[in-house]
Chain A
Amino acid sequence: MTRQLRYFEALREAQAQLLATDPSTLVIGLGVPGPTGVFGTTKGLQEEFGKHRVFDTPSSENAMTGVALGTALMGRRPIVVHMRVDFAVLSMEPLVNQAAKWHYMYGGKLKAPLTVRMIIGRGWGQGPQHSQSLQAWFAHVPGLKVVMPTTPHDAKGMLIAAVRDDAPVIVMEHRWLYNIAGPVPEAPYEVPLDQATIVRRGRDVTLAATSYMCLESLKAADMLSRIGIEAEVIDLRAVAPLDVATLTESVGRTGHFVVSDTGQESYGVGAEALALVAQHAFGALRAPPRRVGLPHIPTPTTPALADLYYPLARDIAVAALTTLGSDRELPPDDSDPRRWKDVPDPSFKGPY
């Protein structure tokens, strides 16, 4: 049987192997060498690779991103780690104005092979400033690449590919994926930064999704299957660039499209995916496509409101039925014993 690792272990292994095989790799960020090692993803790396390569930083997201850029220009391959996407908002200037543009605006003379890991929080009251999913911001900026691996396999392969890529790459990691195990080959490997993957075959409707919403889409596909509808599920994996070929090929077969994203619906990755499908596969669409994502509301903290805020598999399935124009009824949602849906599974204990 293939070796199983959890998502956070796959990320740790990717970084350990990069540090071991490429002396230019650096891992920097607040708490990177700390006792918890950014939810285990960097734990023990400093002991193994030294404090000059695995580096605790001041709480200075802005300047430390510029510092990482400076080392990248000089041939290093830094990985900057943010425990939350929200903290990386403080580094928008060096990412958007600087790192994204140094290759272009100096006529190709410099490269900025910088990787920035950002963790999307959710649940247990992460609230308005610990849970944002801002991939669309970064995807909007020419010069940046943005990926959102869903499986432990892709987490390792995309992080390795990101660090080896000469462009600045944002890797968005959903906290609710961290404890999920999956097959991960031991030797280092790369997963391309620009390819979606079909994770379930189906003929009736295409459900494309990013990150954690991919798992919800798979659950939605199960629900739909129980009422005779076969959904195809696509894990987008890369959001910039978005793999339009895989989407249009799938929609060409199914004629129906639903996209789900961990971020806000408006101006989001879902909006972009719908636009691309409309542009490239309009003739194949048999009904208006749908998107599922967060409403235009900041994240509330109390579970009483957060549970209303986050869309679930059932919402995706309803969207699929809507675009299909189907009046079939979904099976009752009786499998989930949780009172609050603000934790990834019932075994979970706060805080985090």
Chain B
Amino acid sequence: MPDNSRLDLYRQMLRIRLVEERIGDLYAEQQMRCPTHLCIGQEAPPVGVSAHLRRDDLVFSGHRSHGHYLAKGGDLRAMLAELYGRATGCAGGKGGSQHLIDLECGFMGSAPILASTISVGVGAAWAAQLDGLDRVVVVYFGDGATEEGAFHEALNFAGTHKLPVVFVCENNLYSVHSALDVRQPDRPIHALAPAHGLQGVYGDGNDVDVVYDLAAEAVARARKGDGPTLIEFATYRWREHCGPNGDLELNYRSAEEFAAWQARDPVNTYRQRLTATGMLSAPAETAMAKTIAGELDAAVAFAKSSPFPAPEALARFVYPDPADRR
């Protein structure tokens, strides 16, 4: 990978981190009035995966979707405006953090019902196959979604028809507050893949170089028509399941476990790696952070100054307007 690409991976992870931290800081103002699931600690998978995606490739996601949206090229201003419930939001304020969308960059939507977007993404991949396109669809979900029947049904169909999909499981060990080992037997999630006719691979989801390499293979495989892959990335959520705060006081995970994962901070460890190899200097890093902060200031200002939807918007879009019939 060229140095520039690696710097860009770092820049994008840093950007997601700073966006999420800013949302966390501002959330206490009680103006972002929607459930918000921050992905701090899980920045590497979206960045390493999206590095292989074209603009016309499609991404579907779940409730913890900010990183997936941003890494695919989703509009930051429209995302923040959506969190603030404004008319300028990417869904006009009707979706909030759990329903991001940006069709311009191929971010097709996100939904918080576990596994619900997996089959929808598979359908989009089937459409691409029917159209003879070499488009790839990526679906992101967590370890919890792999317990849903719909996950297995969707994998079975994708495997049967060798659809151009990459299933990305970000295994952060908890479904809300319930630990993986009380929910699943002692076998790796990626081991489910061969049973459905898929390739299954596993890697350190906190190391963006590892993510990048595994995703390269999976995306290329899907694009060539060689079939879908399930990638399981080990990663860890730092904040509470939903909301801006920490949650160690709930005692469902230990301080030791948390500290061990913080030591594997995907942003910080990558910064150290790039610095050690001379690719990233301290001043360059500072400049990068400053640029991102400036972009964020402007996006927050845009969101906060945007109008709320007019009352007429309430009943709009329940059904498509027959005048727009395609």
Contacts and interface: CB of A to CB of B under 8 A. Distances in A.
A76 B119 CA distance: 15
B320 A67 contact: no
A152 interface: no
Cβ-closest 6 pairs across A and B: A70-B123, A66-B119, A107-B92, A63-B153, A60-B153, A166-B320
Contacts of A98: 111, 113, 116-117, 120
Interface of B: 89-95, 99, 101, 103, 108-109, 111, 113, 116-128, 130, 149-150, 153-154, 156-157, 160, 316-320, 322, 324-326
B320 A73 contact: no
19 contacts: A62-B150, A63-B118, A63-B122, A63-B156, A67-B126, A67-B154, A67-B157, A69-B120, A69-B123, A70-B120, A70-B127, A93-B113, A98-B117, A106-B95, A107-B317, A110-B103, A166-B320, A167-B319, A167-B320
A279 interface: no
A67 B111 contact: no
B304 to A, nearest CB: 19
Contacts, number: 145
Given A58-B153, A106-B95, A71 B318 contact: no
B89 to A, nearest CB: 8
Contacts of B325: 164-166
Contact of A73 (B108, B130, B153, B319): B108
A295 interface: no
Nearest to A66: B119
A80 to B, nearest CB: 11
Given A67-B119, A67-B123, A107-B89, 8 more contacts: A60-B153, A63-B153, A66-B119, A66-B122, A71-B123, A104-B318, A108-B92, A143-B318
Given A97-B116, A98-B120, A110-B101, A105 B153 contact: no
Contacts of B93: 107
A74 B124 contact: yes
A166 B99 contact: no
A124 to B, nearest CB: 30
A109 B95 CA distance: 12
Nearest to A60: B153
A166 B122 contact: no
Nearest to A97: B113
Nearest to B122: A67
A102 B116 contact: no
B91 A105 contact: yes
Contacts of B317: 103-104, 107-108
A105 B95 contact: yes
A150 interface: no
Interface string A158-169: 000000111100
